[in-house]
Structure 1
């Protein structure tokens, strides 16, 4: 699958962020398309300009879910955290510094580990995503790749988007992050080796493929997984309607 047209079509140009994208527009197995302007994925929002903020508000974003750890919030505060312009929620999915102390050989292992060992925060994220069917939501982490990528993949899988398309959406992050690579390298936690950190900066398709294979093999997809972590059936159905329309 050619990534460039998909990347150009969904990327939202920002002065203070590099990886802001509309999750909508993808075809689904139901013969429909994921709705545009409903869910947005992004990297860190701490450098958004006033124009950037107006752009997101103008696109209907009314709620922001920040997936970063407390240490990251202290170093790079989200511009919406105390502005009052949007509803702001912080749900930490993991501490990047902890990757040095876990037995994870690759990013795909990290994503599977998140599914199995971060069930409560993931439940909270999906409760927020399903809270208001009329509300556009933006979710983000530091690079908009790992934590954000897992949430995006679960949403797209729930909507019936083909796995190869979900993988392509994930891999687009590599192109988006090119301007940020040096900054990301400077923020490497001291507890994480340079070699490991460099490997974890990538967005290779096989990493997301591993997570999706686990999701399909153990849960038969996102719907069963979300209900297994505690999302109510009516919330799951509400999310599907939000993704696809009534």
Structure 2
């Protein structure tokens, strides 16, 4: 569905000062922050303690777990990694906590149909770890003809929406149904797959385009530490070593372009969600998660 009409151009970077107080400093992560405290188009702000975003949770300390579960009230983890990533990285400390539910929605096309890896894990005979790396478990990405000239990162993000739109919607549906407790969305780095899901959630909550872009780009502040953390894991070491830090750094222009295309083609994030089966009632529930 394409909506015609003039789309107002926006200037990247024309935002309020960075919301650095939203960082959640943990021993075992480098890119955890709260989506609360962001301004909305009606003059309000998003509510803290409802939706968090983060990089991989495998190395959380006991103190980290206590802070997330007991202080912040974390009750749900939405994991956007592939089946192979989860199995290669192994069980993180939150996995055994009885008060935390884990949900899995990969945003990359992969071989097999293991949609509930947390239910089967390593005991499932049909799941085999890739021989040389988790990237071998992925299927080729499809790029729409009209998106072939877009920058690589933009193509990747549009690929999540185009090829795994079902799981983008499922992840947001899980968040919307979580009640007043905190949900945490993460992938490996907490910037790309996590960035797209969080951008849509913020769009539904009424956070303006420029602020969504600024939240996405905030990861650049800690990119050196993030790359170093991922490089220490055999699962991600090769990818970290073959690309420089600059290529891993999120750029405001990337998310700005993705949101602009959603504006042009669907009337914004809400229009994209509606076109993919996430209608008004569910959007209202998601909005309520971030707005009182």
With normalisation by structure 1, the TM-score equals 0.88
Kept in 2, the 8 Å contact 1:44–1:78? The answer is no
CA RMSD of aligned residues (A): 2.7
Q: From the superposition, tell whether residues 131 and 2 of structure 1 become closer, same or farther in structure 2 (CA, over 3 Å).
A: same
CA distance in 1, matches of 2:273, 2:92: 27
Within the candidate set 230, 237, 242, 1:184 is matched to: 230
Structure 2 match to 1:194: 242
Structure 2 match to 1:6: 18
CA distance in 2, matches of 1:59, 1:91: 23
**What displacement does 1:14 show?**
0.3
Within the candidate set 46, 68, 76, 2:58 is matched to: 46
Within the candidate set 211, 229, 234, 2:281 is matched to: 234
Deviations 1:153-181 (A, max 9, x none): 11111112121111111111011232131
Correspondence 1:113 to 2:159? yes
Within the candidate set 85, 103, 125, 1:89 is matched to: 103
CA distance in 2, matches of 1:11, 1:191: 26
Q: Which has the larger radius of gyration?
A: 2
**What displacement does 1:192 show?**
10
Structure 2 match to 1:128: 174
Task: Give unpaired runs (5+ residues) of structure 1.
Answer: none
Q: From the superposition, tell whether residues 123 and 177 of structure 1 become closer, same or farther in structure 2 (CA, over 3 Å).
A: same
Correspondence 1:79 to 2:125? no
Segment of structure 1 superposing worse, 150-159 or 171-180: 171-180
Kept in 1, the 8 Å contact 2:105–2:167? The answer is yes
CA distance in 1, matches of 2:224, 2:218: 11
Structure 2 match to 1:36: 48
**What displacement does 1:85 show?**
3.2
With normalisation by structure 2, the TM-score equals 0.75
Segment of structure 1 superposing worse, 7-16 or 94-103: 94-103
Q: From the superposition, tell whether residues 52 and 117 of structure 1 become closer, same or farther in structure 2 (CA, over 3 Å).
A: same
Segment of structure 1 superposing worse, 178-187 or 43-52: 178-187
Structure 1 match to 2:129: none
CA distance in 2, matches of 1:4, 1:66: 30
Structure 2 match to 1:174: 220
Kept in 2, the 8 Å contact 1:108–1:208? The answer is yes
Deviations 1:49-92 (A, max 9, x none): 01001111110111111111111112223332343230111111
CA distance in 2, matches of 1:158, 1:126: 10
Q: From the superposition, tell whether residues 192 and 49 of structure 1 become closer, same or farther in structure 2 (CA, over 3 Å).
A: closer
CA distance in 1, matches of 2:15, 2:267: 27
Kept in 2, the 8 Å contact 1:111–1:150? The answer is yes
Task: Give unpaired runs (5+ residues) of structure 2.
Answer: 1-12, 111-133
Structure 2 match to 1:59: 72
